[in-house]
Each structure stands twice: as structure tokens, then as C-alpha cells.
Structure 1
Amino acid sequence: MAITIKKIITKCCQNSSMKALPRIIKAPTKFQKALWILGLLCGLLTSGYQLSLLFLDYFNFSTSVSIAKEMGAPPFPDVTICHLDKNWTFRMLEREFGGDFSVDEYNYKISELQTLYPSEGLSWGLLESLKGFKGYLQNDFLIHEEVEKLRRLFVIDCSVIYNWDPQPCFSEFEAYLTTNVFLDPEFGMCVTFSAVDDLIKELKLLLYLDDPYTNTPRRFTFVHDSNTHTSAVGAKVVIHPPKSFPDIWLGSRDIYAGNDVSFGIESTKRSVLGEPYGSCIMQTVDDPQSAINRHGYECYRMCARDQVLESCGCINIYYATTKEERNTTPLCGTINLNNITETFYRLRCAEEILVDLNDIMEEVCPCPTPCTQFTYDYSTNAVPWPAGVYHRSFYEQYIRSQPYAAKFHGYADLIEIEKDDPMGAVKKISELNLIEKNFAQLRIMNHQNDYYHYVETPLISREAMFGNVGGLMNLWAGITFITIVEILDFMYQLITKGTTGDEE
């Protein structure tokens, strides 16, 4: 049996595709045999070392990025605008909800309710948190009916360039945009404009930025800004990917009255890898909302909102709400005098969730992005607007028929004067600055005919890994796939011949 196995080993080594083994067996001198053994060991050690580095790179899941230029127009971004002075929203709502429905009356009712509880108690403190407009928003369910009126007061004209053809945004025949109006306790009323298809090349909005009932602008400050502003300064604009949440905190750009501000969009498509290479969400056909992008500070804000909603079954007082949400989802701060304990429970629950999130925010809110999405950079250009020669036509088209036209009576008076003194009236109209102080024009231009596509791919794919393994083993040790087959055949022969030898 020993002789048979020795013959098998000798025969396999002599016929092996590994060049070193036959030469070791046939070596005529000890020096040559030692040389080939040393060469084989060095090759195996070197290939083993390089293979270990290869496996480390592969299991680190490193990636590379390729860039390609693709032809065609990228999708039009979503555009969100909010009045720069959130108090504008609240003042307008106050005018609609006066008397028993005013914020002052609401705060008075809260104070009266607080007298039923000790001032140092938890219930008193929870009621105190409901004072102000945050609590008012939660307890006035008709408020969004008036917000839609404010949208039309804020955005007084909207038009698009659709497939290079100018069109109004909304008509009785077709709507080129959809709008989503929401109330945010931190930013007031905001409106998001979303394109219905990719053929929109430009969006133009005409904004009325001042309080139509106040001749003297209100003065106010922001918590994060020590400068003093007035209610006429302008609006916040956020340009963000379609179906994404606007990052108003960090991603907004301020525009000001008396300017025509154009945003030149530069779109880029990015395709990234999911697990195990990175964290992204793949949109599914059954759930189109699954790949909604939350980015920037707003991601954590919306995540906290969702955590409260999931754990407490309500939307907390610090977060934005839409009309649809208010009709379907309870609000944490809603006061039900017949069951006030329910209000206290929800407010306590929301407060506990937010406190707990402080330490685990990044763990609970990883904020993954869609695996494939467009990102938007832009350049801006602002020019004084409108020119004096257009003041009269602007007044007649956009102001004369509005309820706040009396605030701009100077233009109406000059139009009457024009009948007797045309030249003098034109000169005086151009000297009026009421339009510059109250209006701004905003243009979002998406004129790209091509865009760059950044595609993330594995630095070492499975195919590349197997190819590198084969190449390194063949280079340093002469081991190929055929060699592996030979080893398996060799083991089979050893087993079968060994068994035959035992029987004999």
C-alpha cells in the first residue's frame, strides 16, 4: 500500500500543472531540489501576503466613482419659499381670526386654565408651553383654510417656461405645478412648488413681501441673528431635490424686496451603493415615498417629529403641519377640556422622547439618502427691479384690483395727473419707491441640456476579486483552476487506492 501511494504522489507531482512540483521530483541534485523548494515556498508566501491585502480591501467595501456626461434635461427641483418675517404670517392670521379667535384671547384662556393647577406643578408648566403661536397653531383647526388665502396674497403671480413655451402655472385646462402649503412654528407659512414633469425649464414667481395693512414696517430680530430686520425685507428660498424635505434652517437663501433674483440651476445625478458599501434607500414601486430624501438639519428635525408621532401618536407643537395632516393626525397640544389628562399625557410623552433623542439622535436618525437622486447647486444674480418705466403697468396689472390697493394710492393719483401732464406724471411715478419696498421677482432657471452622472461602484467587484486571486496565485505559485482540479483528483486517488490497498 505504501508503495502504491508513493507511486500516486510521484505520478501526480510529475504531471501537475504547477511547474515547481515536477522539477522538485526530477531534480538531479540536492542543490536544484532545494532551489525549487525555496522558490515554491517564496511564491506561496508572497501570493499569500498579497491575497491577504486583496481580501482586506474587498471586505473593507471600498468604492470608486466614475463620471459620465448624460444628455437630456434633468428634472426640475422643488422650490420652497417662506416669508422672511414669520410674524407676517401670524399678523395676517390675526386679522382673519380676531376677537374670540385671536392669539391674545387664546393665551388668556390658557392662563385661566393654569389657575386650576399649582404654579410649581408639571401640569402648569405643560400649559405654559402651549402659550404663544406654537400652541395656537395646535388648537385652531380652521387656520389652514386661511393659510391658502395667505398663499395667494404672498405669491401674486406664477408662470413657467414649459418646453420653451411661456405658460401660467395654473389654468382651468392644465396645471404645470403642484403646491403644498404648510405652517411652521419657526418660519410661518411656507409653500413648496413641485413640477409635474421634466419639461419645465423655468419658474417665475412674483412675491408680495410686506404687510398689506401696515404702512410702517415692523421691526424684529432672529434668535440666530443679532441684526434688526423689518417685515419688508424678503423671503427665504430653498431649492431642493424633488420629493425631498426643504432644509429651511441651513439650506435657504434670502431674497429681498426691490430685486429680480435669478437662480441658475446646476444639476448633478448621483448613484450610490447600499449595504454593505454605504447607507441609502432604494425606492420601491409599491412605496414611492420610501426614497424621500431628508437632508441637512431638517432631517433630524423631521426624524424627531416622526419619533414623537410613532411613540405618542401625535404631532408635537414644534413641527410643521399641513391641512391634510391636521385632518387625519392628532396634535400633541390640542386641548380637550373634557379630557385634559390626555393633553398632559401627550405633551409629557413628546417631551420625554425629545430628551431621550439628544443622546441617540445619530443612531436613531441615520438620515439615509436615495440610492439614486439629483442634487442641485445654483448661482444667483440679483438686479434692481422693476425699472421706473414699468411702475404704472405693474400697478394696473397686480395692485389696482387688490384689497390693499389703497396703500399704493400714490400711483392712482399720478395716473389721474397724467391726463393733464403726461410727462410730469411719468417722472413722478418713476420716483415712487413703494413697489421696490414691497415686491420681489424670483426666477428659477433649469436650462441644462446635459448633466454629469456620478456613479459609485465597488473598488473591487466579485469578478475582479476572483480574477486577482487567480492572477496572483498563478504568478507566484503557478496555481490555476486546473491545479485545484488536479489536487481534488489526487485526493480521490489517495482515498480509493488506500481503500483498495487495505482490502488487499
Structure 2
Amino acid sequence: MKNQSSLKLRNRKPLTNGHQAKTVAEKSVWDINCVPGFSHARDRSNISQTRKNIWLCLSLLGLALTVYQVKMVLSNYSKFPINTRIKVEEASLQYFPAITICPYNKIKCSYLQRDLENCYSTNCSNLWNYCQLGLLSGCSYMKMEREKQLNQSSNFHITCPDQFLKLNNTEDGNIEDDSLFDEVYGQLQQTDRQRIGMERKVMVKLCTINHSPCSGYFDAQTINTVSRGNCFGFNYNGSFQVRAGPEEGMSLEFFLVRNESVWHSMNNKVGLRVVLHQPNEVPLIEELGRDVFPGAATSFSLQIRQNIRQPAPYPSKCIDSWNETFFTTAKFPIVANWKYSQVGCSRMCFLQHFMQNCDCIYHNQDDMNIKEYHQNQGIPPFEYCSMKNQTSVDCLGSSYNTYNSDKCRCQPNCNETIYEIGTSALTWPSESGWFYKAIEFNMTSSYKDDQPITSDDIEKSETELYPIYEEIKKNLLRLDFYFSSQSRIVIEELPVYADLFSLFANLGGALSLWMGISFLALIEVIEVVIDSVMKTVQ
């Protein structure tokens, strides 16, 4: 028996190298235990072929699902997805926003008449503009009517003869082309516009922070723009912090001086427009402002929301600087003094579009005072579009339809603070408190021949006092600003794949879920494949 076995082994043909390598590789791939399904399908124990076939089908299904999920993970990774996390942060003190407030009345009639007469006596270059403003605003008409009532002579026919003739041809002082008021107003220099506008010391009667004068915290500022006239800025340095609650904020009281208001057809609103913004950020009155009306105390309840976004290549593509937009500080030095904002960038893009197409912009779009800046810096200035020029009107109309902000690359801020505002209002001053407020502000009344209201007036009858009360109420308004909560809402974008380890973790999940392959098992499979290839080549 021994000799027969030896003979059989001697007569057996030796395996070639290729065949031997293929057998070893095949055995290695099927016999490793890192892929349970395939190892069961190749199991040489006494299990039925049906079970082996079932394991093979399940293994192939797992392989297909693994390939699909790996493809989905890689596809998702290439899109730079983000997760959004919302959290609430508590702070006992919070920085107060900057506040810009603009009246709807651009000029104070007595100041316009003062400068008109001074200009006439010195024969200054602005005489025609002052005369036109007096005519178009109704200020000259009101002055002439007042002088008639007082049996005083008017010199308007001497200082402004052309405008006097137009005014004399009207019954009530209404001029057909009074829409040109803003156009004439925009032709004045900023210093001249500011001088004939409302004064802060006249309008702002009270400013307190935590019941203390605002002067201890900041210096209020006066800013003049063509679109709004004199506006008043508070807390532009962003220096103080307050606690939450209505007793811990800022309060302002205004006197509107309506008896000296412009009453042309384009000025059909009474009150103030308020915008809250970050310090060093352009106060865009038109886009972000809110109107408040006289005869009321309006409360602004504030809640801070902070948006933290991700830069490109993530979907938000946020930016932090003007230099990442079309409006670099090298080409547009004016933006160097402003904090970047997407709304401000869009406004710049809008103005640039009109200037390129029509060589002019609307006067009410220049609340950034860009024209004034160009003049001061020696940059060739542009002009405000004239409503009398039909070519400009047609060009502006067609430019609205072709405007596209994409070329300006105005993306959202990477770190943006927004003040969410809730407002409420009630009648102010009350019927019992208006009298003392009028005395405090040394207010006058037309029902007393423009004489100040005094404590002696309290003895008058209710019938006599009521019209005075109505007049006072139409000239006063109060604003209260405070934080409603000591918390801020932070909405933060977080990358789904912050680094390569996050990607590998997702790939590992796909491999282990359907195939049961771990990191070390994957290395083992790779090693077997490499060995198989090397042996086949040899």
C-alpha cells in the first residue's frame, strides 16, 4: 500500500507556477474572515449548497449597496454640505446698536429764509437755488401769508423776482412742478444743506440711557444726505452696554416743528424714520428704516440674532471684506470707512449700474453721499438725474429692467449681527401730561399767537386747551429702545465634513453596514489583492 501511494504521488504532474499562484490567491480571498458573507458562501464544511447560494446573493447585494452608498458619500462630500446649529447664549450685558433717525422734513423754513436773505445781501452763488427752494417748498408762501396777517411788507419780490411772479399766479401757493424740489436741493453743497435743515438741539429734546443723559456715553452726530436731509446719529462708537428690560435702554423725545415743515406734494408724510445698525455700518434708511408717527410713544423691543456662515466653497459663499467684491478699497476708497454688509454692497452695485448706463443717479439713492465724496477727493463727480431730461428718465427706466447684482459679488457676511425688532405704540403725551411737557420744552402754540405755553394757561377752560393739546401732540413723539432678553440667538453653519476624518468615518459606516468591513479588514483585503497580483505576475 505504501509503495502504491508513493507511486501515485510520483506519477502526479507538478503544478505550474501560474496555476499554483492562482490557487493560493483564490484560497486566500475566499478564506479570510474579514468579509463574513463571502466566507460563508465559500465555506467548505458540510452545509447545503442552497445556504451557500443564499449567502452569496446576500453578499453581492451588500456589495452593491456598499458601492451605491460610497458613491453617495463621495457625491455629497463634493457639494460641501453644511449643518445648521441654533443655540442660545446668555449675557448679562449686551452692546447697544447704533441708531440713525431722519425726519421727513428736509428743511426748516426760518433757516432757509435766513440763508436766502444773507445770500441776497452778499450776492452769493446759491441765490437762485434758495429762491427755488423757497418757492417749491411753500416756505416763501407761508412767510408772505404770515406777513400779510401782521400787516408787514414782504421783500420776496425783491430777493426772488422770478419766483415771486410764479407764486403770485397761484391761489394757494401750490406749484405744478414742485416735484423738482429734491433736484434743486441736491444741487446745494452738503454744508449748505445741513445749515438750512433741522437742528438736533431743536428737535431732540431728551436723550437718556438708563435715566442718565446720553452725553455721558457718546456724542450725537448730525449727518446730511440728499435723500433725507439732516439725520441724527446716536451711539456711532458702539461704546456702551445695557441689561435687558425696558428700564435699561435708551429713550428719546422729539419735537417735530411742523409749523416750519415743507409741504410740497413729494413730502406727504409726517414723523421720523428709524434704522438700527452696527457701528461703522452705513445706515441704509430706505432699505432698513422703520417709520414712527407723532403723538405716540413707540417702543422698540430688540433681540440679537447672530448669523455665522461658511465661506466658499460652501453654499453660503460668505465674505468679510469689501475687497472680496467688485468694490475693492483700491478702486472705491469710500468703502474703506464702512463695515461690509450685503445690503450696502447691493446699493453700491445698484448705483454703479445706473452711473455706467446713464451717467447719473436719482438724488434719493445717494444716502451714502457718494457725490460729495467724489468732489472732496478730486474724483470726477457724477450728476443727479434731472426729471426734466426725458433721455435720463427713459434710461433709468430701462436700466431697472437690466439690473443684475451677480457681477458685483455681493455675498452675505460671514459673521452678521441682526437686531430683530418688535414695536408697539401708545398715545403720548397724555391729556393730563401734555401741559407739563409743553412747558418743559418751552413750546409755542399758534392758538396763542406763537407765544410760549406757561403755567398760567392751566387756568383756561377745557374748550380753550383742547386745540392747543392737539397741536402739541402732533409735534411730539417718544422712542424707547431696549433689549427684550439677555440672550442672543446664534445660528451657525457647520461643515458636515470638517476634515478628512469625517469623510473616512462616513465611508467606514457604509462599508461596515452592508459588508461588515472594518479599517483593519479593509487593509487585509487590500493586502490579499496585492499579493494575488504579485503572485500572478511572477
The 2-side partners of 1:235 and 1:252 are apart by 10
Pair 92,65 (structure 1): closer, same or farther in 2 beyond 3 Å: farther
User: What SS does the aligned partner of 1:50 have?
Assistant: helix
> 8 Å contact 1:74–1:448 — kept in the other structure?
no
> 8 Å contact 1:92–1:150 — kept in the other structure?
no
User: What SS does the aligned partner of 2:107 have?
Assistant: helix
Post-superposition Cα deviations, 1:125-167, rounded to whole Å, max 9, x if no partner, equal: xxx9x965335424535325516x6241563234232xx4x33
Residues 88-127 of structure 1 aligned to structure 2 (within 5 Å)? 88-89=106-107, 94-95=112-113, 97-98=115-116, 99=120, 100-103=126-129
Deviation for aligned residue 1:438: 1.6
1:415 counterpart letter in structure 2:
T
Counterpart among 31, 35, 43 of residue 54 in structure 2: 35
The 1-side partners of 2:311 and 2:413 are apart by 9
Counterpart among 12, 18, 42 of residue 35 in structure 2: 18
Pair 9,365 (structure 1): closer, same or farther in 2 beyond 3 Å: same
The 1-side partners of 2:296 and 2:80 are apart by 50
1:218 aligns with 2:238: no
Counterpart among 359, 373, 376 of residue 419 in structure 2: 376
The 1-side partners of 2:309 and 2:234 are apart by 27
Match of 2:477 in 1: 440
Pair 219,159 (structure 1): closer, same or farther in 2 beyond 3 Å: same
> Which protein has the larger Cα radius of gyration, Structure 1 or Structure 2?
2
1:181 counterpart letter in structure 2:
I
The 1-side partners of 2:213 and 2:419 are apart by 24
Deviation for aligned residue 1:467: 2.1
The 1-side partners of 2:96 and 2:307 are apart by 15
Match of 2:315 in 1: 277
Pair 460,413 (structure 1): closer, same or farther in 2 beyond 3 Å: closer
Match of 1:333 in 2: 383
Pair 367,473 (structure 1): closer, same or farther in 2 beyond 3 Å: same
The 1-side partners of 2:375 and 2:35 are apart by 75
The 1-side partners of 2:461 and 2:508 are apart by 88
> 8 Å contact 2:342–2:413 — kept in the other structure?
no
Match of 2:205 in 1: 157
1:168 aligns with 2:168: no
Q: Which protein has the bigger strand share?
A: 1
Pair 428,49 (structure 1): closer, same or farther in 2 beyond 3 Å: same
1:193 counterpart letter in structure 2:
F
Match of 2:167 in 1: none
Q: Which runs of 5+ in 2 are unaligned?
A: 1-16, 121-125, 134-176, 243-247, 324-328, 330-334
User: Which one is further off, 322-331 or 235-244?
Assistant: 322-331
Match of 1:125 in 2: none
The 2-side partners of 1:71 and 1:445 are apart by 16
Match of 1:67 in 2: 86
Counterpart among 100, 104, 119 of residue 80 in structure 1: 100
User: What SS does the aligned partner of 2:39 have?
Assistant: helix
TM-score (normalised: structure 1): 0.71
> 8 Å contact 2:194–2:229 — kept in the other structure?
no
User: What SS does the aligned partner of 1:370 have?
Assistant: coil
Match of 2:161 in 1: none
1:304 counterpart letter in structure 2:
F
Pair 332,376 (structure 1): closer, same or farther in 2 beyond 3 Å: same
Post-superposition Cα deviations, 1:82-130, rounded to whole Å, max 9, x if no partner, equal: 223x4x43857743542543436579xxxxxxxxxxxxxxxxxxxx9x9
Match of 2:276 in 1: 239
TM-score (normalised: structure 2): 0.67
Pair 457,414 (structure 1): closer, same or farther in 2 beyond 3 Å: closer
The size of the alignment, in residue pairs, is: 440
> 8 Å contact 1:8–1:493 — kept in the other structure?
yes
User: What SS does the aligned partner of 2:95 have?
Assistant: coil
1:415 aligns with 2:445: no
Identity rate, percent: 18
